[in-house]
Structure 1
Amino acid sequence: MGEIIKGKPVADAISEVLTAEVNDLKGKGITPKLAIVRVGAKGSDIAYEKGALKRCSSIGIETEVKEYPEDIAQDAFIEELKKINQDKTVNGILIFRPFPKQLDEEVIKYVIAAEKDVDCFSPINVAKLMEGDKTGFAPCTPTAVIEILKHYNVNMKGANAAVIGRSMVVGKPVSMLLLNENATVTICHSRTKNMPEVTSKADILVVGVGKAKMVTADYVKEGAVVIDVGINVDEQGNLCGDVDTEACVGKASMITPVPAGVGSVTTSILAKHVVAACKMQNNL
């Protein structure tokens, strides 16, 4: 029977370190601040926002929510974003996506200041992620995956890792981060042939496709570590992941649950990035 590895101990360990760092910054007269930019009021955005505000508050990071109407025009939105870029008190900016259809992500991603972009929206941070440049900010959720693996002492060096999903939200960035930890990475997607055959050879399996309980025991190698990044709602209206946890827990050595897994670490990574941005902007 595999171990169910939860996110809370990982989040708490990160928060403890950050709280000390923020206290140190405040002793120098500097308070890190995050601006959350939200267009409209999607339930999933508000849920994440609530968690982020709570986490930042517990660490001592200041926050400000900038909420804009669902129908805001692109020019007006860009003007608002430029103001936040120029606000010296703001160290980190988190923008909720996807946008309503009148806002073009392909244009807006070039507007956000890269040094404040704490969730890897700017192409500059995407490039830094590809290069393994530590001055950039990788997306928070893929970074949370790596932090969980490190916290539970999973050896990534030389390990065979399979990632199911190739989106810029999880799949591609987590593959790069695993590569930076010297894992050998295979990316699987909707066109992959015989996917269970490929993934069942992996020591580490990361799943982020958005299909409820898609991954069953035949996808999992005996003794593999399984990280489930999916968030779905099943037929009973309960939250569940992309992995059928009950079916896979007997085969995996460790597996993250949904809820209480990767998601609970993501807001700590967001806070970590805000503190790092604050230090860089203050040449510390």
Structure 2
Amino acid sequence: MSANPTSCKVVLAANIAKKLQAEVADGLAKLDRKPHLVGFLANKDPAARMYADWTGKTCIDNGFAFTLRECEREELEEAIRDANADDTVDGILVYYPVFNSSRDRTIQYIVDMHKDVEGLSPKLINNMYQNIRFLDPPHNTQKSILPCTPLAMIKILEYLNIYNTILDYGKRLWGRRITVINRSEVVGRPLAALLANDGAEVYSVDVTGVQRFSRGQGLRNQQHVVEEKPDMTMEDCLAISDVVISGVPGDKFKVPVDKIRDGAVCINFSSEKNFTPAVKEHASIYVPAVGKVTIMILLRNLLVCTAMARYFRSLTPSQLSALKSLETPSNTSNHPIASEENTSTPPIDSMLSSSILPERIDKTNVETLLNETADELKRMVQNNPDVDAKPAEAIERAGTVEETVSTAKAAA
């Protein structure tokens, strides 16, 4: 990626968000009522208050219903459980931080996965790291939600043509080196994993040092691996990166723009300005903020949650019980983030493929298939050479029951 360093193009998030906004409007028009998002504010953080106000305004402006529920942080868990059980609530959003990172993680566990517009529930995080597309295999009608900001970054990179659409899914970032300055478990680390799973060589930078996320030479691994790079500095990463993404909170941090490779693409997702104006002397493209893209992703996720709720209400109790039996991550005793390292025994749903579907799908044989024992499902998959991890970008592709069955019949 080379460019005249004096010809930097500034791309605004509002322009990128327009297509997503049109998609959201189309989805909303197909519903008979407004999806209802409930936000929980249990802290005194001015930034959280500002985000809550902005979320509410954006929801209302785009035809969604929004309620902000404020409570003391000790009351938050009970308030979330009440919203989980409330059929008038389609999506739940918690404005973090509330306590500390470990206790906030517990709050993420409490939010009903089917109402989690942020994509932070254990199952959703587990699916993201293992590149699992759907919550309800094998009929694959309910998408697994991705965290808003990491997915927004993917959409921005697609808009900027950083993804090479000539290549197959899972390889479209092959040859790209990307530095992500932030390794939070909400944004930076998931983003690095998603980019690496799509073929990029990602350098993840935080105060503890540098890690490299990649799928190995020639993309030989189906999923990314993480390597510590103790001999590398942030400046080393900047010098070799095609894309630099920064999201460091606080106004004291600035990316050393003089170390950025000329012609690089630079994106800021922090609420602060991580790049000085001098970035335009080196970058070919600069995206100064991403908030308007992120909020559109949140509304898209809310639409998915609303559709998911309708789907579950259509199931019989036995079908619902059978389906939910496959929705528990196999490693719930561990921190969900660590699931990326544990690929030897993926959960059942990551091993299912369309080729094991019956020729005719209806509620009866779906229920029968879902009630198969774990050992039988494993045996079926082990005999299926077509099982493969799905790249992060492919998670966004729609898959209907009819398409899945057609694929299965064609394969047969």
TM-score normalised to structure 2 length: 0.60
1:208 aligns with 2:239: no
**What letter corresponds to residue 18 of structure 1 in structure 2?**
V
Task: Give 3-state SS (helix, strand or coil) of 1:150's partner.
Answer: helix
Partner of residue 38 from structure 1, selected from 36, 41, 44: 41
Q: Could you say which residue in structure 2 is the equivalent of 1:19? A: 25
Counterpart of 1:248, as a letter, is: V
Look up the SS of the partner of 1:109 in the other structure.
helix
Q: 1:132 maps to what in 2?
A: 131
Residue 247 of structure 1 pairs with residue 247 of structure 2: no
Tell me, yes or no, if structure 1 residue 148 matches structure 2 residue 156.
yes
Q: Secondary structure at the match of 2:240?
A: coil
| Structure 1 match to 2:205 | 188
Which of 166, 178, 187 in structure 2 is aligned with 1:161?
A: 178
Partner of 2:92: 93
Task: State yes or no: 1:226 paired with 2:266.
Answer: yes
Secondary structure of 1:200's aligned partner: helix
In the TM superposition, 1:232-271 aligns within 5 A as 232=272, 241-244=273-276, 246-257=277-288, 261-271=289-299
Q: How does 1:52-67 map to 2 (within 5 A)?
A: 52-67=55-70
Matching residue's letter, 2:266: V
- The superposition leaves residues 117-150 of structure 1 with CA deviations (integer Å, 9 ceiling, x where unpaired) of 1113322221111112233322212222111111
Please, which runs of 5 or more residues in structure 2 have no aligned partner?
1-6, 134-142, 164-171, 211-231, 312-399, 401-412
Paired letter, 2:17: A
SS of alignment partner, residue 99 of structure 1? coil
The structure-2 alpha-carbon separation of the partners of 1:100 and 1:187, relative to structure 1 and needing over 3 Å to count, comes to closer
Aligned counterparts of 2:107 and 2:99: Cα–Cα separation in 1: 13
Question: Is the 1:138–1:173 Cα contact (8 Å) retained in structure 2?
Answer: no
Distance 2:249 2:106 in 1: 26
The one-letter amino acid of 2:235's match is P
5+ residue gaps, structure 1, are 233-240
1-side partners of 2:108 and 2:43: how far apart? 18
Residues 1:153 and 1:13: Cα distance change in structure 2 (over 3 Å):
same
Once residues 133 and 34 of structure 1 are traced to their aligned partners in structure 2, the CA distance between those partners, rounded to angstroms, is 25
TM-score (norm 1): 0.85
Instruction: Tell me the distance in 2 between the aligned counterparts of 1:7 and 1:189.
Output: 25
- 2:275 counterpart letter in structure 1: V
| Deviations 1:167-222, CA, capped at 9 Å, x for gaps | 11321011122124322222122224432112221111111222545212233111
AA matched with 1:273: N
Q: Which amino acid aligns with 2:161?
A: N
Distance 2:284 2:105 in 1: 41
Is the 8 Å Cα contact of residues 118 and 137 (structure 1) preserved in structure 2? yes
Does the residue aligned with 1:249 lie in a helix, a strand or coil?
helix
